[in-house]
């Protein structure tokens, strides 16, 4: 009888472990790619807008076809960001200096933030807003911190030997991004 109850207990334990494994797999399969921390290389973005048309009379105007609702719109080709409120009105737009790794066009979400860290290029940065990774290179917005009383503003990371997904903003623009782009806010990347 002792062998039978040990077999029943072992069978129940195996069934419970199997059920937990199935539930864990189902949960991980339903996490949006932008929130699961995995590289997006080799996978298509959730939404892949084509190159958004530009208004030649107003080059800082929000490109049509860049979505609706509250969002950050980032144009890889124009090196420009728009902070768009829920009313679809632009609250702020500014130029940025990207690193040497660009995100794919698509729709992402802010996944993590850091108030102050050292960037992959070795510069002290603040107000870091991360939203994806490309080939294990994290991509996000940041501003170079003040260095001996002088604001370095945005500094391009192009030409570096290290791969960096840093999209640099001035400190004032970094402050605005930090206030606007909290965890879960949508980031729309366009060409």
| Choice between 125 and 59, residue whose per-residue pLDDT is larger | 125
- Quick one: DSSP state of residue 60? T
Contact predicate 171/151, CB 8 Å: yes
Q: What is the pLDDT of residue 126?
A: 97
Q: What is the pLDDT of residue 60?
A: 85
Contact predicate 74/187, CB 8 Å: yes
Average pLDDT of the chain, as a whole number = 77
Q: Is pTM, for the whole model, over 0.75? A: no
For residues 35, 36, 42 and 46, what is the CA-based torsion angle, rounded to 10 degrees? -30
Q: What is the pLDDT of residue 34?
A: 43
- Portion of the chain with pLDDT greater than 70, in percent: 62
| Choice between 54 and 15, residue whose per-residue pLDDT is larger | 54
Residues 21-30 have a mean pLDDT of: 40
Q: What is the pLDDT of residue 66?
A: 92
Using alpha carbons only, how large is the chain's radius of gyration in Å? Answer: 22
Question: What's the CATH number of domain 71-190, 3.65.10.10, 3.90.550.10, 3.30.200.20, 2.40.440.10?
Answer: 2.40.440.10
Q: Where are the domains of the chain?
A: 2-30, 71-190
State pLDDT tens for residues 70-124: 999 999 999 999 999 999 999 999 999 999 999 999 999 999 999 999 998 889 9
Beta strands in 30-164 (DSSP E): 71-75, 80-84, 90-95, 97-98, 106-109, 112-118, 124-134, 137-144
Helix and strand numbers, DSSP H then E, in the chain: 2, 10
């Amino acid at each position: 009888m002792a062998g039978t109850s040990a077999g029943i207990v072992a069978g129940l334990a195996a069934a419970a472990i199997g059920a937990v494994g199935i539930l864990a797999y189902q949960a991980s399969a339903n996490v949006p790619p932008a929130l699961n921390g995995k590289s997006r290389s080799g996978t298509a973005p959730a939404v892949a807008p084509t190159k958004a048309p530009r208004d030649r009379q107003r080059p800082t105007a929000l490109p049509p076809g860049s979505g609706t609702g509250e969002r950050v719109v980032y144009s890889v080709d124009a090196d420009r960001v728009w902070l768009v409120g829920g009313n679809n009105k632009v609250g702020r737009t500014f130029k940025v200096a990207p690193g040497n790794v660009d995100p794919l066009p698509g729709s992402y979400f802010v996944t993590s933030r850091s108030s102050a860290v050292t960037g992959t290029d070795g510069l002290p940065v603040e107000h870091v807003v991360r939203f994806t990774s490309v080939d294990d290179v994290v991509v996000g917005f940041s501003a170079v911190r003040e260095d001996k009383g002088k604001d370095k503003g945005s500094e391009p990371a192009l030409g570096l030997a290290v791969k960096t997904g840093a999209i640099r903003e001035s400190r004032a623009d970094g402050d605005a991004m930090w206030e606007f782009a909290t965890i879960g806010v949508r980031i729309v990347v366009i060409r």
